[in-house]
Structure 1
Amino acid sequence: MSGFTQNDQVAINTIRALAADVVGKANSGHPGAPMGMAPVAHVLFSKFMRFNSKNPKWINRDRFVLSNGHACALQYILLHLAGYKVSMDDLKAFRQIDSITPGHPELGVTDGIEVTTGPLGQGISNAVGLAIAQAHMGAVFNKDNFNLIDNYTYVFTGDGCLQEGVASEACSLAGHLKLGNLIAVYDDNKITIDGDTAVSFTEDVEQRFKSYGWEVLHVEKGDDDIAAIEAALKEAQKTKDQPTIINLKTTIGFGSLKQGGHDVHGAPLKKDDITQLKKKFGFNPDETFAVPKETYDIYNAAAEKGAKAEEEWKTLFKQYSEKYPKEASELTRRVEGRLPEGWEKALPTYTTSDAAVGSRKLSETTISKLAEVLPELVGGSADLTGSNLTRWKNAEDFQHPSSGLGSYAGRYFRFGVREHGMAAICNGIAAYGGLIPFGATFLNFVSYAAGAVRLSALSHLRVLQVATHDSIGLGEDGPTHQPVETAAWLRAIPNLAFWRPADGNETSASYLVSILSQHTPSVLAFSRQNLPQLANSSIEKAAKGGYVLEEVENADVTIVSTGSEVPLALGAVEQLKSKGIKARLVSIPCFEVFDSQSREYRLSVLPSGAPILSVEAYSTFGWGQYSHDHFGLKAWGASGPYDQVYKKFDITPEGIAKRAEKVVAFYKKRGQPVFSPLISALDDISDE
């Protein structure tokens, strides 16, 4: 073993035995992959990873992503050994309530976890985003003799991840972008839950990645040839213009009586199996969670080496600050997560004298203004730039310099037709730090990215999804493109803000709150058709998520709406007035933000005393929390000019007014007090 001692083999076997103990005590989890990947994990963390476990947020640390997140016992063990805030008691609390060692790695729960993984394919796609972020930050801030940002992103991945479509999308783009800072280790153990991969996955993975433009390396004996593992990682580091995938042949559950089979994939080892395993590896079978001093010594040395690397980096940064004070100040601001002073003044405001335009065009204007004052704002479109209107004037594309199409300093991304990959990559960019990413597509196709959007929210990542063509108002493309149900599931996701602005001021407000919301992702839905500027809207009002657009005393009815239906509802208010019916109008561009306001404020917007009718050209699912009656779409949309589509479904000022009259008459006939839907018997129940 070149450069290794017997203590390294002991450390590897310690990891294997700990994996069996961790999963065994929880009586839940996946011991097989941790046991099979113990050798490569040991080599990576003891010889290659640059980290400081006492400062897990050092910006130039190497990033490690466990894409096969079910194997998280491995990652928790490594974090414990390396001196992160993961104690032996935390390992013993694996998969238990309120522990910092949950069933899959979660960003923000455990120090040293870079991204939330578990849903297969997400982690390797996040890793592409992390590598992109490093390449961009390095291109912006590095100077001759000052490589401040030059870390690697390492990712472990398995057969399950590589079968998921999102991994193909992201890895294809990584190859195009020639991300030489990205190194993946493919745990080629040929086992998934259903058994041997022969039943479903017989493609040539190596040829596939070669076709993507990746460097492909091999380690045939991943169970014990740690010298070959070290050599492959060294070779991967030398390659600067290609991402690398190392095909590592391993035996799942190595050392178990059931090694090599799917039985060891997702279930604890039996007691007798753990006993023989420990005897085989030279451990006392009566001891659990045992770590030899020699193993701790190896990892302490690695941690000390990383701490020294950070101190050297600090010295370099001090010299950089003296020579490049402006750049140093800017890097510090970004890493600390502070926004530039007064950036919000760039947000455009509107009056009724301004022209009616589609909110996707209003979004374009806002992005263009923000791009000038927020250098950390980066993003692009899933091959719909000309439709999403997301590229600002003089934007440079993020491309490998050799392409002649841009540079790594570019801030605009050409994601290609890869909606799911785009969203997952944006998660990785956001997780890196110092950047605010956005992706863009039609609202309907955010559904293609659902898995990654959900993880944005769970991970508390500030990612913006610009979603244009947001309703039946896109017209002739018809039901295949008209997102009737999309808003409902987006609004149902905890910690995700779904915005549907009705005019220019509301559009500016949606960007204001989305950028200020450092730990909440946002989906911003914009119209294709033109929308008038509303008389009583403002950024300040809309930033509360909901507000009164038209007030009237002793109202007979309140109409509440969003987006492109608000002007139609305003027309209905005027028609009702001519019939002697007093109608208030409320706009709620964002449920999530409105719900965060005080109870007093929300009840002032949606008070008791008169019935409330919601109007939206979507499914009415979810509106019961705000309105007594709901007017929307009961099925799919239709193909035709947008105004005719609205007319077909009677979502017009006349159609809205007609339904509002029925609502007023119904509640007057009942003759009972009308309480706001916001009032609940459970209001005084604590959420704690």
Structure 2
Amino acid sequence: MGYSDQDWKAINTIRLLAVDATLKANSGHPGAPMGLAPAAHVLFNKFMTFNPKNPEFINRDRFVLSRNSAPKRKSFCKHGGCRLFFRERLTSSNLWLDIMGLNTARIHARTGVKCSRNGHGCMLHYALLHLFGYGVSMDDLKHFRQVDSICPGHPEAHDTPGIEVTTGPLGQGFSNAVGLAIAQAHTAAVFNKPGYELLNNHTYTIFGDGCAMEGVASEAASTAGHLQLGNLIALYDDNHISIDGDTKCAFTEDVSKRFEAYGWHVQHVEDGDHDLEGLEAAIKKAKEVKDKPSMIKVTTTIGFGSKLQGTGGVHGNPLKADDAKQVKSKFGFNPEESFVVPNEVYEMYHKHASEGAAAEQEWNDLFKKYASEHKELADDFSRRLTRKLPEGWEKSLPLWKPTDAADATRKTSEKVLQAIHNAVPELLSGSADLTGSNNTRWKDAVDFQPPSLGIGDWSGRYLRYGVREHAMGAIMNGISAYGTLIPAGGTFLNFVSYAAGAVRLSSLSHQRVIWVATHDSIGLGEDGPTHQPIETLVHFRALPNMMVWRPADGNETSAAYYMALTSQSTPSILALTRQNLPQLENSTVQNAIKGAYVAIESENADVTLVSTGSEVSICIEAIKVLKDQHSLTARVVSMPCTEVFDAQPKEYQLKCLPDGIPAMSVEVMSTLGWEKYSHEQFGLNRFGASGPYKDVYKKFEFTPEGIAKRAAATVDFYKGLKPRSPVNRAFQQLI
């Protein structure tokens, strides 16, 4: 194997860059980079294939640093809080939107804020990116954790070249790595042909005790073991330190035995501080294991070289100035200098980077030959890398007429998936052990499974996530990040809350992930309050860069899928009913993709009823009750997606919610947030009830009569006034 003083100089350079960056920022975690530098050096310089000049090279090995800690402070991102999350959608779907007559130039962004947080080991990753020649300069390292820096307190995929996924909260990065490995296995099964191994990359991740404690990582590890993902190698940084100090205070299990029980291949490098040959041998052996994911336990000393090495004191704080100087002296560096990289270290790492560039060129040559023999596959592969959908795919979307039978939107969702799955081959569906309830599997679907199990294939497009909602969300983020697939996963809407951490990171990292969230309200009936979501929609509507759809019928369901699939960097949650809903008179895909539209218009209306999902048809029924019992005229607006409606021009918004007419919102969920679109709100600010769904609706007066009673009270309250539309707001002109 052969390691020299030059290797140790490179390792110590990594350590000292972490020391200097955290010291200059007066913030950060130098301990993990100091302990992990030997393992990272061996992994990156001996095994990983990548091209820093093209961080998107598709067959690169992926690296995920999952060693991060809880948030402690925030800073605004360089984007000034603005996320133009419709931009990519417009570039991918202008043609169809123009056919529909929409003014696409006016569709612009809802705002969002990114925050950077303290992380254990991110300076390890940033130092490596700089040393190998990615677009991370020495000045960038010097601005670690500062506003507008591309080296934030946690790695964020859209800020820093070479960062694969946004891994902030513990366990998420590990779980993302499982998703990356799944995506590689599937894509390779579809596109690799004899003589053309287009995709053979590995996914590597480093995780620590914190990730090992988090439940989401346990769920994901169990999934990976079942799936026999031999392309996944995890290095476990066994340093026995967490934020509270020595892990013996809370975490004394045998992690290696746990991973063996999950079905992983497990090794142990006992001296991760010095044994470079042992590290190399372990990674080499892991790569030879094809039918299991591999976990290498690497025992390290946190803060190696520091006066405080091996203690919690070096975990979450920069070294003291005198400690930093003695570390530099110990490692043969000038204690009075900072941010020093010897030329021979650059040369060593740039040599490996050039080998990665050569590997990409070889891959490009291979792909040219592949395209000459497998043109259709090559065209499909190239298209997927652009994240654009196949030309004309939207013609496969099913349409409904008002005379069509009533149907649950979970069933219209199933019909959409059935209709489009051939037209969108990169769509991978799945469910958290609720396939029969979520209706997420098309009829001829093949399961994504190891062929050895005899129940599916690597090329299968249906994922059985098991009862693991949180892991499903994090794994879908990894699948999306790979760059060739669009993941959709099903569970009950109430249980999307189990995965809230992963959902948040979908938005933050701009992943095109689709949640098929059925059983969306008290309409699920007998299962009662434990299953009936009340607060879930307002929670996720508050999330920047997230589309929350609650369709009222089949056409609105098709619209939701259209927007979810064409939004290249925005995730979506589709809240779908268990109970049947009628097909609406004025519902069209063209109307619904604007986020809201007038479902029933009435001249000289006294009130506007604005609603979503299963309550829209009840509001329409309430029109007659208002006329017959209260001599009032009502109009109805269906608003399947508030986020998309927010992006419409003000003129269109006022067409839906005009000045001079009081508006009342109707939704069987929390009323929080509806003041943005209505003057009065009728909702459910308590938990639901168990019973047949029609009886539950009656109990809470979500009936035509109950809606009409409250609408009449709204009209009476605003009698003699001409209320301004709720969309007329002072700050709107500043956005």
Interval of TM-score (by shorter of Structure 1 and Structure 2): over 0.9
Give the counterpart of 1:391 among 441, 454, 475: 441
The CA distance in 2 between the partners of 1:369 and 1:257, in whole Å, is 64
CA shift for structure 1 position 573: 1.3
Residue number among 621, 631, 641 corresponding to 1:571 in the alignment: 621
Question: How big is each residue's C-alpha offset from its partner over 1:285-304, in whole Å with a ceiling of 9 and x where there is no partner?
Answer: 11100000111011101100
Which residue among 501, 516, 523 is the counterpart of 1:473?
523
130-139 or 141-150: bigger deviation: 141-150
Indicate the residue corresponding to 1:421 in structure 2: 471
The aligned residue for residue 657 of structure 2 is 606
Report the counterpart of residue 239 of structure 2 in structure 1. Answer: 189
Match of residue 455 from structure 1: 505
Distance in 2, Cα, partners of 1:217 & 1:574: 72
Residue 307 of structure 1: SS of its match in structure 2?
Answer: helix
- What amino acid is the match of 1:504? G
Q: Deviations over 1:177-197 (max 9, x none)?
A: 000000000000000000000
- Residue aligning to 1:287: 337
Partner of 1:583: 634
Partner of 2:59: 60
Report the residue type matching 2:423 in the other structure: V
**Matches of 2:67 and 2:643, distance apart in 1:** 32
Alignment correspondent of 1:243? 293
In structure 1, what is the equivalent of residue 89 of structure 2? none
Q: Secondary structure at the match of 2:732?
A: coil
What stretches of structure 2 of length at least 5 have no aligned partner? Answer: 69-118
Distance 2:2 2:158 in 1: 36
Whether 2:451 is the aligned partner of 1:401: answer yes
Matched with 1:373 is: 423
Q: Give secondary structure in 2 for the equivalent of 1:166.
A: helix
Q: How does 1:427-446 map to 2 (within 5 A)?
A: 427-446=477-496
Match of 1:297 among 347, 350, 357: 347
1:347 equivalenced with 2:391 (yes/no): no
CA distance in 1, matches of 2:143, 2:13: 18
In structure 2, give the amino acid aligned to 1:632: G
What displacement does 1:323 show? 1.3
Letter in 1 for 2:692: P
Q: Residue type of the partner of 1:596?
A: A
**Deviation of the 1:338 alpha carbon:** 1.9
Aligned to 1:27: 26
Distance apart, 1:602 and its partner CA:
0.8
Q: Distance in 2 between matches of 1:350 and 1:122?
A: 40
Partner of 2:111: none
Q: Which amino acid aligns with 1:568?
A: I
Which of 675, 683, 687 is equivalent to 2:724?
675
Counterpart in 1 of 2:690? Answer: 639
How far 1:481 sits from its partner (Å)? 0.2
Q: Does 1:105 align with 2:155?
A: yes
Aligned partner of 2:136 among 86, 90, 109: 86
Q: CA RMSD in A?
A: 0.7
Aligned counterparts of 2:473 and 2:338: Cα–Cα separation in 1: 42
Report the Cα distance in structure 1 between the residues aligned to 2:489 and 2:470, rounded to whole angstroms. 10
Which residue, out of 210, 223, 240, partners 1:160? 210
Residue 325 in structure 1 maps to residue 324 in structure 2: no
Shift, 1:367, TM fit: 0.7
SS of the counterpart of 2:177?
Answer: helix
Instruction: Output the CA distance in 2 between the equivalents of 1:580 and 1:531.
Output: 27
Larger RCO: 1 or 2 (CA < 8 Å, sep 6+):
2
Secondary structure of the 1:236 match is: helix
1:249 CA displacement: 0.2
Aligned length: 683
Other structure's SS at 1:217 match: strand
Q: CA deviation at 1:683?
A: 2.6
Counterpart position of 2:580: 530
2:723, 2:673 → 1: CA distance? 20
Local SS of the residue matching 2:422: helix
1:657 aligned partner: 708
Aligned position for 2:103: none
Cα distance in 2 between the residues matched to 1:153 and 1:239: 14
Q: In the alignment, does 2:284 pair up with 1:234?
A: yes
Asked if 1:5 corresponds to 2:16, the answer is: no
Match of 2:49 in 1: 50
- In the TM superposition, residue 342 of structure 1 has moved relative to its aligned partner by 0.5
Where 1:368 maps in the other structure, the secondary structure is helix
C-alpha separation in 2, matches of 1:128 and 1:183: 10
Q: Which amino acid aligns with 2:290?
A: K
CA–CA separation in structure 1 for the residues paired with 2:636 and 2:388: 37
Q: Which moved more, 1:600-609 or 1:32-41?
A: 600-609
Percent of residue pairs identical: 63
Q: Distance in 2 between matches of 1:57 and 1:369?
A: 32
Report whether the alignment pairs 1:139 with 2:138. no
Match of 1:201 among 248, 251, 256: 251
Deviations 1:535-572 (A, max 9, x none): 01100000000111111122110000000000111111
Aligned-partner Cα distance in 2 for 1:359–1:322: 44
Matched residues in 2 for 1:659 and 1:191: separation? 58
Distance in 1 (CA, whole Å) between partners of 2:381 and 2:199 is: 10
User: CA offset at residue 368 of structure 1?
Assistant: 0.8
Provide the C-alpha distance between the structure 2 equivalents of 1:425 and 1:236, rounded to a whole number of angstroms.
22
- Tell me how far apart the structure 1 counterparts of residues 458 and 179 of structure 2 sit (CA, whole Å): 13
Letter in 2 for 1:676: S
Secondary structure of 2:731's match? coil
Q: Return the offset for 1:603.
A: 1.3
Shift of 1:222: 0.2
Partners of 2:312 and 2:536 in 1: how far apart?
37
3-state SS of paired residue (2:160)? coil
| Letter of the structure 2 residue corresponding to residue 26 of structure 1 | A
Q: How far 1:255 moved relative to its partner? A: 0.5
> Per the alignment, in what secondary structure is the counterpart of residue 245 of structure 1?
strand
CA distance in 2, matches of 1:336, 1:307: 21
Secondary structure, counterpart of 1:372 in structure 2: coil
Task: Say whether residues 1:595 and 2:594 are aligned partners.
Answer: no
Shift of 1:580: 2.4
Q: 246, 253, 263: which is aligned to 1:213?
A: 263
Residue 178 of structure 1 is matched in structure 2 by 228
- 1:507 match: secondary structure: helix
* Matching residue's letter, 1:672: L
How far apart are 1:224 and its partner, in Å? 1.1
Q: Deviations over 1:209-235 (max 9, x none)?
A: 000000001100001111111111101
- Correspondent of 1:666 among 709, 714, 717: 717
| 1:666 partner letter | F
CA distance in structure 2 between the partners assigned to 1:355 and 1:551 by the alignment? 23
* Residue equivalent to 2:93: none
Shift of residue 672 of structure 1? Answer: 3.0
The one-letter code of the counterpart of 2:66 is S
Q: Which residue in 2 is equivalent to 1:270?
A: 320
